[in-house]
Amino acid sequence: MYNNWHPYGYYHNPPQTVMPKPSKTAVAYLKGGPFSPNIKGLVLFQEMRDGTRVCVEVTGLPSYQPGYHNKDPIGPHGFHIHENGICEIRDSDDPFHAVGGHWNPTNQPHGNHAGDMPVIFSNNGYAWMCFFTNAFKVADAIGKAVIIHQNPDDFRTQPAGDAGKRLACGVIEYII
């Protein structure tokens, strides 16, 4: 009877939090390749109710350069989960090729791939961002790779959005 007692009268139970505490967490440690060797960062994946919270913090991104004539801009940077967790550099002209294409387990057109994530905006080489997605659970992304691209993703061009060179890579793995 006195569970809700307050010195100035009775009150109702406070509302429950909207999101539960994360139950599963994974990380990808980003490392730059030959086009941007100074890139370093991490991407955290935290399982939440009905989806995943993704947070990225990265340094060493190249400076923004607007597109002109027939050249694409450099930045904001395409940001994707790719099929294979293999961040090898077999060819310095095409680094991280072994990661394959965008992770697309439900065979959707580009723009709706599970691995399509918002672009990253560099601020003097630094970026930090968090977002929520219901496209996958943390367990589904384990063993895949995160890629940061040179150019922005247009979310239209098939099959991969014309995001350009692969600048950095990190394999998604569980953390305890």
Total count of domains within the chain = 1
99 in a structural domain: yes
1 in a structural domain: no
Average pLDDT per block of 10 residues along the chain, 176 residues long: 44 48 81 95 93 95 85 84 92 91 81 83 94 92 94 68 83 86
Q: Which among 35, 29, 38 is positioned nearest to 171, based on CA atoms?
A: 29
Separation CA 30–CA 8 (nearest Å):
54
Burial of 62 (0-12, 13-18, 19+ CB in 10 A): middle
Structural domain for 125, as ranges: 20-174
Confidence at residue 155, expressed as pLDDT on a 0 to 100 scale: 64
Confidence at residue 78, expressed as pLDDT on a 0 to 100 scale: 87
8 in a structural domain: no
> 107: domain CATH number?
2.60.40.200
26 in a structural domain: yes
Confidence at residue 170, expressed as pLDDT on a 0 to 100 scale: 97
- pTM above threshold 0.75: yes
Separation CA 82–CA 63 (nearest Å):
24
Asked if residue 78 lies in contact with residue 149, where contact means CB atoms within 8 angstroms, the answer is yes
Confidence at residue 1, expressed as pLDDT on a 0 to 100 scale: 41
48 in a structural domain: yes
